[in-house]
Amino acid sequence: MIATGTQVKISNIKELPVGIGQVYRVNNEEIAVFRLSNGKVYAIENKSPHPKGGRLADGLVSGEYLFCPIHDWKISLIDGTVQAPDQGKVKSFQVDISNNEGVIYL
């Protein structure tokens, strides 16, 4: 991974494990990156919106959702929205993939 201003480059997407969050630290912020079995890659902030927090990279992926490992909140990997009846949102980041390389836009 190489940070370049407002972009984070991931050199080989295929090296990301499927369904397991990988943490990248950029400018004192942690980003959790997930590669799904369908090949899509999503990036969200690595902190649960629950008042007690928690690392989202350790969560369980199901489809395009992540389950918070501590509070079991269901969070969309697409836009970071917590699903009802819980409430909240985490930052989500645009990811572009080309030629097996990814770019996360902060």
What the chain holds in terms of domains, given with CATH numbers, is 2-105 (2.102.10.10)
Closest to 92 measured CA to CA, from 78, 71, 72, 74: 78
Question: Number of H helices and number of E strands within the chain?
Answer: 0, 10
CA distance 38 to 90: 23
Query: What is the per-residue pLDDT for 36?
Result: 96
Calculate the dihedral angle through the C-alpha atoms of 30, 36, 41, 45, rounding to the nearest 10 degrees. -20
Average confidence (pLDDT) per 10 residues, the chain, 106 residues: 70 90 90 94 95 92 95 96 96 93 89
Say if pTM beats, i.e. exceeds, 0.95: no
User: What pLDDT score does 3 carry?
Assistant: 53
